[in-house]
């Protein structure tokens, strides 16, 4: 295993992505909408328009949250409590959905794309091992999604603190659970999703087929990640840590099995039963 | 126009076994009875191939003959279903595959380049995968490899904007970047202008003079003729003929031939009685005469003149690779895929050879 080659494969893939404006522009738009525009508008509306019935209604609905979640909510005014609840709990799934969506789109095209462009032939004849190629592709698929989340999350944190912070007594975000989710829960879910998507990408005959099939695979995973991350944020920190640990175990097993899906004959596009 | 039947070739030549069995310890590539199927399609069917060190070997054959599969097997990109492949004495599809691949430079039939990257980035990617690392020495090596094929001025441009010829030249540069011991070229001059193609062929000659080994697939028989130390004619995944072109031709046409043209049919027929003539095949206005020595040809012309026959043409037959290739394939009764082999006259503009042709 030569990590230098792995990183070379990843770096080259990322460089190609950076050249593909038609790919990263929608990615930036998607991230901006869900991390900046929608939360910004919603939180500004709640905190700036004052005491209205709608906010009171939303504030009332906070009663349905689990007691562990309710205990976390800070702020005295309805605006502050509502803003806090929305900032911490409502947008949690976004941090999961965005990276999974972006990484799935990148990962689906990565191996079949080599085959379609004919560059799989170059890789197949090169000294790079299939494990190095697989991991390089995995990193190149994971980073755009996770990177978008980290950048988006940073911007989102600033927006949340600037809009809701004054209502709850200062900067409060990210909360401990958010840190656990971003650093501990999200990465293994990404890895599980990508291990499946890369396997698909190695087997299908076209990028279009890979995109379609990976959508079918990633959608249930996204829903699971959505529900689990929400639960992790609503529940205690221990749940999130246990959930993340379980996801890491599944991810490692899945990644290890996924290596076998990349073969030189598949890079060439001549493997029977692809 | 059918003038003469192809002489019966020696059986050992057709099997190619003389070359295979004679493979010595200097063989860089040794493929023995290798078979490879993709589902119902048999790509290789008991292929025997031996490539000697420092030689230029050319694989000839129609589409689907198994040339590309053979190259893929040499780098270990594919492993044989049965039989064996050894390269530098190692199994390329086994644990030593990485060592083998690091010593091979490959140019595929399609350039296999990353269109969104610049030429420089494509070469740098290869340099890093082939463990040349990063740094000024690697940068120098990249520039040197690009300059060998006259592409150094376009390295900063995105490959997607390159012409076909530029892509081929970049792919060639990439293949020699790590100074490989074995160069595997699948149609390397495809898409190149004549000057560039000539430069590529010169480079191939230079590389073998420096001890490197070249295995090349081509459809251009004229190109192969001027270049090949050895040829391997493949068909349906197996070796049809292998050896040194001149020796194979000498075995295939053991006696010299000449086509004499004259409107005097009787005079041509009377050549049978001349000393040294072993065979005369008559056609309208000409005769193909087998003689025991080239020196007999003036004697035959003199005999026609003495008989009062006007001599309108004297064409001694010096068999080319093209003649050999088509004769062998005709002899095997298989003309499938001939369309994708381009005879030399397509390239040179000289008239098609009429000798010999199958009856």
Structure confidence by residue, pLDDT tens digits, B159-185: 999 988 889 889 999 999 999 999 999
Q: Which residue of A lies nearest to B171 if distances are taken between CA atoms? A: A122
Whether the pLDDT of residue A69 is over 80: the answer is no
Q: Is the ipTM here above 0.90?
A: no
pLDDT of B257 reads 87
Whether the pLDDT of residue A75 is over 90: the answer is no
Whether the pLDDT of residue A261 is over 70: the answer is yes
pLDDT of A91 reads 74
CA pair distance B311, B304, nearest whole angstrom: 7
Q: Which residue of A lies nearest to B112 if distances are taken between CA atoms? A: A119
Which residue has better confidence, A25 or B343? Answer: A25
Give chain A's mean pLDDT. 83
Decide if A171 contacts A78 (C-beta within 8 A).
Answer: no
State in Å, rounded, how far the first CA of chain A is from the last one.
25
Question: Model confidence at B350, in pLDDT bands (50, 70, 90)?
Answer: very low
pLDDT of B216 reads 93
How far, in Å, are B28, B283, B317, B344 from residue B324 at the CA level? 26, 22, 12, 12
CB pair distance less than 8 Å for B117 and A16: yes
Nearest to B129 among A121, A128, A268 (CB): A128
Domain boundaries, chain B: 13-250, 255-317
Most confident range, picked from A42-56, A58-72, B140-154, B199-213: B140-154
pLDDT of A249 reads 95
CA pair distance B74, B97, nearest whole angstrom: 10
Residue range B107-163, pLDDT digits in tens: 998 889 999 999 999 999 999 999 998 888 899 999 999 998 889 999 999 999 998
Whether the pLDDT of residue A217 is over 80: the answer is no
CA pair distance B53, B25, nearest whole angstrom: 9
| Rg of chain B over all Cα atoms, to the nearest angstrom | 24
Residue range B37-81, pLDDT digits in tens: 998 889 999 999 999 998 999 999 888 889 999 999 999 999 999
Whether the pLDDT of residue B6 is over 50: the answer is no
pLDDT of A233 reads 61
pLDDT of B180 reads 94
pLDDT of B15 reads 36
Percent of chain B with pLDDT over 70: 86
Mean pLDDT, residues B77-100:
94
Question: Model confidence at B24, in pLDDT bands (50, 70, 90)?
Answer: very low
Question: Model confidence at B235, in pLDDT bands (50, 70, 90)?
Answer: confident
By mean pLDDT, which of A63-72, B4-13, B53-62 is the weakest?
B4-13
Whether the pLDDT of residue B25 is over 90: the answer is no
Decide if B76 contacts B93 (C-beta within 8 A).
Answer: yes
- Interface list for A 73-112 with B (CB within 8 A): none
CB pairs under 8 A between A and B: 84
Q: What are phi and psi of A153, to 5 degrees?
A: -65, -40
Question: What is the distance in angstroms between the Cα of B17 and the nearest Cα belonging to chain A?
Answer: 29
3-state secondary structure B164-198: HHHHHHHHHHHHHCCCCCEEEEECCCCCCCHHHHH
CB pair distance less than 8 Å for B102 and A15: no
pLDDT of A132 reads 95
pLDDT of A242 reads 85
Most confident range, picked from A89-98, B27-36, B342-351: B27-36
**Among the listed residues B17, B11, B10, the one whose alpha carbon sits nearest the alpha carbon of residue B48:** B17
Decide if A84 contacts A166 (C-beta within 8 A).
Answer: no
Whether residue A8 lies within 8 A of chain B, CB to CB, comes out as yes
> Which residues of chain A lie closer than 8 angstroms to B117, CB-CB?
12, 15-16, 19
Topology at the third CATH level for domain B13-250: Rossmann fold (3.40.50)
pLDDT of A212 reads 84
Q: How many residues does chain A have?
A: 274
Question: Model confidence at A57, in pLDDT bands (50, 70, 90)?
Answer: confident
Which residue has better confidence, A227 or A209? Answer: A209
pLDDT of A52 reads 65
Which residue has better confidence, B189 or A222? Answer: B189
Whether residue A263 lies within 8 A of chain B, CB to CB, comes out as no
CB pair distance less than 8 Å for A268 and B38: no
Nearest to A8 among B72, B75, B129 (CB): B129
By mean pLDDT, which of A78-87, A117-126, B117-126, B342-351 is the weakest?
B342-351
Dmax over Cα atoms in chain B, in whole Å?
80
State in Å, rounded, how far the first CA of chain B is from the last one.
9
> Which residues face B183 on adjacent strands?
B105, B214
Whether the pLDDT of residue B8 is over 60: the answer is no
Whether the pLDDT of residue A51 is over 70: the answer is no
Residue range B282-301, pLDDT digits in tens: 988 899 999 888 888 999 99
Question: Model confidence at B23, in pLDDT bands (50, 70, 90)?
Answer: very low
Question: What is the distance in angstroms between the Cα of A4 and the nearest Cα belonging to chain B?
Answer: 8
Whether the pLDDT of residue B346 is over 60: the answer is no
Decide if B323 contacts B257 (C-beta within 8 A).
Answer: no
Give chain B's mean pLDDT. 82
What is this structure's pTM? 0.80
pLDDT of B19 reads 35
Whether the pLDDT of residue A42 is over 70: the answer is yes
CATH superfamily, domain at B255-317: YebC, transcriptional regulation domain (3.30.70.980)
pLDDT of B304 reads 92
Whether the pLDDT of residue B343 is over 60: the answer is no
* Torsion sign, CA atoms A134, A136, A139, A141: negative
pLDDT of B356 reads 40
CB pair distance less than 8 Å for A118 and B121: no
Decide if A102 contacts A193 (C-beta within 8 A).
Answer: no
pLDDT of A236 reads 63
Residue range A224-257, pLDDT digits in tens: 766 666 666 666 667 778 888 998 999 999 998 9
pLDDT of B334 reads 58
CB pair distance less than 8 Å for A124 and B117: no
Decide if A74 contacts A168 (C-beta within 8 A).
Answer: yes
């Amino acid at each position: 295993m030569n990590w230098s080659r792995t990183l070379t494969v990843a770096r080259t893939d990322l460089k190609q992505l950076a050249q593909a404006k038609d790919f990263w522009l929608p990615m930036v738009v998607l991230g901006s909408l869900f991390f900046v525009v929608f939360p910004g508008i919603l939180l500004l509306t709640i905190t700036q328009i004052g005491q209205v019935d709608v906010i009171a209604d939303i504030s009332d609905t906070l009663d349905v949250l689990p007691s562990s979640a309710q205990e976390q909510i800070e702020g005295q005014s309805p605006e502050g409590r509502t803003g806090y609840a929305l900032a911490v709990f409502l947008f949690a799934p976004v941090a999961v959905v965005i990276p999974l969506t972006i990484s799935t789109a990148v990962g689906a095209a990565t191996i079949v794309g080599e085959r379609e462009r004919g560059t799989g032939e170059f890789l197949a004849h090169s000294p790079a091992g299939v494990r190095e190629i697989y991991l390089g592709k995995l990193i190149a698929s994971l980073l755009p999604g996770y990177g978008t989340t980290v950048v988006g999350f940073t911007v989102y944190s600033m927006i949340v603190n600037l809009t809701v912070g004054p209502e709850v007594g200062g900067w409060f975000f990210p909360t401990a659970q958010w840190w656990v989710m971003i650093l501990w829960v999200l990465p293994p879910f990404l890895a599980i999703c990508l291990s499946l998507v890369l396997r698909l990408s190695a087997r299908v005959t076209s990028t279009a087929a890979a995109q379609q099939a990976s959508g079918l695979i990633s959608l249930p995973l996204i829903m699971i990640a959505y529900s689990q991350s929400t639960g992790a944020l609503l529940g205690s920190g221990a749940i999130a840590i246990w959930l993340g640990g379980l996801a890491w175990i599944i991810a490692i097993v899945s990644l290890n099995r996924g290596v076998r899906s990349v073969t030189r004959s598949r890079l060439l596009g001549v493997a029977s039963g692809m | 126009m059918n003038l003469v039947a192809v002489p019966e070739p020696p059986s050992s030549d057709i099997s190619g076994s003389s070359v295979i069995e004679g493979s010595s310890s200097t063989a860089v590539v040794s493929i023995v009875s290798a078979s490879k199927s993709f589902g119902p399609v048999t790509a290789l069917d008991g292929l025997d191939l031996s490539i000697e060190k420092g030689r230029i070997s050319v694989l000839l054959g129609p589409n689907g003959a198994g040339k590309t599969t053979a190259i893929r097997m040499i780098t270990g990109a594919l492993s044989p279903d049965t039989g064996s492949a050894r390269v530098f004495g190692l199994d390329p599809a086994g644990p030593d595959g990485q060592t083998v691949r690091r010593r091979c430079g490959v140019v595929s039939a399609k350039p296999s380049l990353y269109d969104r990257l610049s030429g420089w980035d494509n070469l740098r990617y290869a340099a890093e995968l082939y463990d040349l690392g990063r740094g000024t020495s690697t940068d120098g090596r990249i520039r040197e490899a690009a300059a060998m094929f006259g592409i150094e001025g376009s390295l900063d441009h995105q490959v997607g904007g390159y012409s076909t010829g530029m892509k081929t030249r970049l792919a060639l540069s990439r293949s020699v970047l790590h100074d490989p011991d074995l160069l595997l070229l699948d149609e390397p001059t495809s898409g190149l202008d004549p000057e560039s193609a000539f430069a590529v062929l010169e480079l191939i000659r230079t590389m073998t003079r420096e001890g490197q080994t070249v295995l090349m697939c081509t459809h251009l028989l004229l190109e192969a003729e001027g270049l090949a130390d050895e040829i391997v004619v493949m068909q349906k995944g197996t070796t049809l003929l292998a050896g040194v072109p001149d020796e194979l031709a000498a075995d295939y046409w053991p006696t010299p031939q000449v086509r004499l043209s004259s409107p005097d049919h009787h005079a041509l027929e009377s050549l049978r009685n001349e000393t040294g003539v072993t065979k005369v095949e008559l056609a309208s206005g000409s005769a193909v005469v087998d003689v025991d020595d080239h020196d007999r040809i003036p004697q035959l012309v003199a005999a026609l003149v003495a008989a009062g026959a006007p001599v309108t043409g004297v064409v001694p037959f010096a068999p080319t690779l093209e003649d050999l290739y088509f004769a062998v394939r005709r002899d095997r009764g298989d003309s499938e895929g001939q369309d994708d082999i381009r005879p030399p006259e397509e390239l040179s503009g000289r008239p098609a050879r009429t000798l010999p042709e199958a009856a």
